[in-house]
Chain A
Amino acid sequence: MPIAPLSPDVVRQKISGIDVVEPSPICGGFKAVYRAIVRGKTEALKILTIKRGDDPDLEEAYVQEQLARVGREIDALAKSKCPEIVKLGSIAPQDFDVETEKYFAYSEEFISGKNLWDLLRDGSRMPPELPELLVLFIALLNCVEELWALGYVHRDIKPQNVMKTGDVTRPFVLLDLGIAYAVHEVGLTYRPGERMPLATYRYLAPEMMEPDFRDRLDFRTDLYTTGMTVYEYAAGKHPLARDTDDLMRTISRALRQPPTPLQNHRADLPRAFCELIDTFLKKKPALRPANLTLVRRKLEDLR
């Protein structure tokens, strides 16, 4: 359930340096994202509600976990040099209290444009042509590769987290490293009472549903979600999920059902491109092409 956002007045009062805060933020289960003007520049201000959980004995651990998660996101963003990954803004990470609630805030650059999810739901949209799909695919591969080099797996690449900017130097930008996984750090615990990993179920890689997924997680999980995103953007349809599916059906499809080959939806695209995307959607990570140099070469051949 989305959180209740703070009012712009409270935000300005608690965080210095902000000129204007847009009153209607985008709210998720943990955070609200405000469009804010900071020292004359538009930025995306993120305010996370630090939840305390239901068990008083675990309250402190739960708070620390949430702070660690956001710390990880900020760390990854700070280290990244990849132009296709969103950059940190000018508001330094900080926590504050409002009455009995604890909050954590920082900012990212504001990316104008539309996310792919909104574009997919635009009925007047023409199916994207191969050149655009290649640009999107390569942009996401750049992000995956950069994050892996820094020791992270994004885990949540999906159309909602990819912005189409209209800027030729940076046509697509990946947002939200909120559940990025640091492979060389201690795994964060689940939220109390929840046994499923954090991610959007429609875009959950099959291996994420294995009980020991932390032992085996690597960037091929992001290759799967990259494949999902490019497939859906190309086909206008999710490769597996249906809007009428419930959670169990969605998960069952992810684990067992082979996706419809992309070529079936887009006969106009080159077979080699469609088959490459299909390969990214294999259930077993070992069957996804991990040699990204080779993948890039294939994509270059398609240009």
Chain B
Amino acid sequence: MKLFSQHGALQGGKTIDGIAKGYVDGIIYSPRDIKASKLKDHVDEVAGVNPVADQFFDPQYYAGFNVSDSDARRGYLATAEFADYFRIRRRRDLESGLDKIREDIRNCLKFQEGFSLTGLVSPNILITRSLDSIEGVISKNFIRQAGELHAKLLLKKPLYITLALSREALMDKHELVAFLTDITLLDKVPTGFYLLVAARQEEARTDIYSADVIGAWMLINYTLALNGYHVINGYSDILTPFLGAAGAAAGATGWWSNLRTFSLSRFLPATGGRLPIQRYLSKTLLNRIAYFELDKLRRICPKVLNRLETDGLYDAEEGSLPDRAKEVWQSWEATRSLCGDLCKGDTKSDLDRCRRAISTAYRAYDEVGAAIDAIDPKSNSDHLPALEEGLKVFSRLAEIPNPSGETM
């Protein structure tokens, strides 16, 4: 499976160099964070570095209900830069018929046609509460209309349809299955989906690290992949290999926490904050630990080290503190490597590998706990029960027998 750079603010040379070094396979652009006038140059620059790198554009249409406040962090999104397609709509504009939906899809796809992108990503709203809601109906209309318009406009590039769901929308499994039953029966089929699962806030780790969310997210990937769709998961970060085990074609992650977890809070008025401490993504722990924790553990519990090229960025002589601008390379390389270890293309075997990776992580955390007194809350093993249970939820929903033979 592939891993993409989830583009965001203060990119600098991170993505270009990440692609050049082979840490990521491509990029998903964020119009909030790049001018349309610069986009073409960047696309060309990426193609110059790696002509087969995948390049997609997330239209961020789902932010339309949230960026009308004057102090919203809309970046370039709701400006003249993207006025060719981006509209601030009210929900009732989209409830009343298909005209505006079709207009927005058409404009959005045509806008992207002007760039040398790998595929076209159609817009959609975020389903914030229930799949069995007005938002669910609007979202399905965006999905159906995108395929029809893509065919009607005779667009050559493959179509990827945005499907953006809140974690709340994933809670009702009956409605989730009904929703999937509907969207896997489209008259005009796209090449794939650009799938987003939203937390209430990007820092709300437990929003995503919940068995129900992980299981449901995997189920969506599994169901869509089973029907021949390529699923690109935005903001999937460390969950990427687990989604890959369920059939995902790609995942993405970036350098800020708001590029590792999808949330509309990224577009809401700022509440302040400070720069995060640099972290190291340990494949063994299936988690990031703070650089100073790495500095202690690398001597007494060396199994937390990935032994990959980017380990060199965390120089023990420097207290294992990496250059902030290069930290993301380590995340990308570790995630991509983990995907290679866990995702070989056979769901049952891949799920077994995921289970074993979790068991290994538990054992490693036991050693970590014995080695150091206290560990940062973000670095601890709280994610493991959610991952473990999430695999069970997924297996049950997808009717895949787990090793004990139970499915439902």
Residues of A within 8 A of B184 (CB): 286, 290
Residues of A within 8 A of B95 (CB): none
Name which of A118-126, A139-147, A276-284 contacts chain B. A276-284
Q: Which of A282, A283, A290 contacts B227 (CB 8 A)?
A: A290
How many whole Å from B216's CB to the nearest CB in chain A? 13
> Is the Cβ of A290 less than 8 Å from the Cβ of B399?
no
> Is the Cβ of A290 less than 8 Å from the Cβ of B185?
yes
Residues of B within 8 A of A218 (CB): 185
Residues of B within 8 A of A216 (CB): 178, 181
Q: Which of B189, B222, B227, B399 contacts A258 (CB 8 A)?
A: B399
Per-residue CB proximity of A277-303 to B under 8 Å, as 1/0?
001001111110111011000000000
Give the size of the chain A interface in residues (CB under 8 angstroms): 17
Per-residue CB proximity of A232-260 to B under 8 Å, as 1/0?
00000000000000000000000010100
The chain A residue sitting closest to B229, CB to CB, is A291
Alpha-carbon distance A290/B186, docked complex (angstroms): 10
> Is the Cβ of A284 less than 8 Å from the Cβ of B181?
yes
The chain A residue sitting closest to B178, CB to CB, is A216
Per-residue CB proximity of B202-223 to A under 8 Å, as 1/0?
0000000000000000000011
Alpha-carbon distance A294/B226, docked complex (angstroms): 9
How many whole Å from B188's CB to the nearest CB in chain A? 13
Alpha-carbon distance A291/B223, docked complex (angstroms): 11
Residues of B within 8 A of A294 (CB): 227-228
Tell me if B408 counts as interface (CB < 8 A to partner A): yes
Known: A216-B178, A258-B408. A283 touches B399 (CB 8 A): yes
Residues of B within 8 A of A279 (CB): 226
Per-residue CB proximity of A258-271 to B under 8 Å, as 1/0?
10000000000000
> Is the Cβ of B185 less than 8 Å from the Cβ of A287?
no
Residue among B178, B399, B408 facing the most chain A CB atoms (10 A cut-off): B399
Known: A258-B399, A291-B189. A286 touches B407 (CB 8 A): no
Question: When A and B form their complex, what is the total count of cross-chain residue pairs whose Cβ atoms lie within 8 Å?
Answer: 40
Known: A216-B181, A258-B399, A258-B401. A287 touches B228 (CB 8 A): no
Residues of A within 8 A of B185 (CB): 218, 220, 290
Alpha-carbon distance A284/B180, docked complex (angstroms): 10
> Is the Cβ of B223 less than 8 Å from the Cβ of A287?
yes
Residues of B within 8 A of A283 (CB): 399, 408
Tell me if B398 counts as interface (CB < 8 A to partner A): yes
Residues of B within 8 A of A258 (CB): 399, 401, 407-408
Alpha-carbon distance A294/B189, docked complex (angstroms): 13
How many whole Å from B3's CB to the nearest CB in chain A? 25
How many whole Å from A125's CB to the nearest CB in chain B? 30
Residues of B within 8 A of A286 (CB): 177, 180-181, 184, 223
Residues of A within 8 A of B228 (CB): 289, 291, 293-294
Q: A220-B181, A286-B184 are in contact. List 20 more A-B contacts (CB 8 A).
A: A216-B178, A216-B181, A220-B185, A258-B401, A279-B226, A282-B399, A283-B399, A284-B181, A284-B399, A286-B177, A286-B180, A286-B181, A287-B222, A289-B226, A289-B227, A289-B228, A290-B185, A290-B227, A294-B227, A294-B228
Which of B's residues lie within 8 Å of A, judged by CB?
177-178, 180-181, 184-185, 189, 222-223, 226-228, 398-399, 401, 407-408
Which of A's residues lie within 8 Å of B, judged by CB?
216, 218, 220, 256, 258, 279, 282-287, 289-291, 293-294
User: Can you list 15 contacts pairing A with B, beta carbon distance less than 8 Å?
Assistant: A258-B401, A258-B407, A279-B226, A282-B399, A283-B408, A284-B399, A285-B181, A286-B180, A286-B184, A287-B222, A287-B226, A287-B398, A287-B399, A291-B227, A293-B228
